[in-house]
Amino acid sequence: MSAIDVHALCSKFPITRKFYAFTREFYAFTREFYAFTREFGTFTREFYAFTREFGTFTREFHAFTREFGTFTREFYAFTREFYAFTREFGLYS
């Protein structure tokens, strides 16, 4: 529909003018909403990547803490045995 046809309809039927104004506003809204959804999609993809990396970090940190716990238990057992060994020779009373 050309601009002349729209102008003729709007001058002839006042409700058409309101509807045409509404459709223009709605079109502007949909363009802005589309831009928003694109930005939101980018944000969600980046957030998903962050959560995946954070999940990898937490799994690796959990594995590290388990290994460190095993090390400390073994080191504690070694120090107890060493202390018992040195007590046999009277180094500690």
Q: What are phi and psi of 92, to 5 degrees?
A: -120, 145
Block residue for tokens 């070694």: 78
* Ordered per-residue pLDDT tens for the chain, 93 residues: 555 676 676 677 777 778 888 889 999 999 999 999 999 999 999 999 999 999 999 999 999 999 999 999 999 999 999 999 888 888 765
pTM across the whole model: 0.52
- Give, rounded to a whole angstrom, the gap between the first and last alpha carbons of the chain: 105
- Give the tokens for residue 3: 């601009």
- Alpha helix segments (H runs only) across the chain: 3-12, 14-88
Handedness of CA 73, 77, 78, 79 (dihedral sign): positive
Residue 6 contacts residue 20 (beta carbons within 8 Å): yes
Which pLDDT does position 19 carry in this prediction?
83
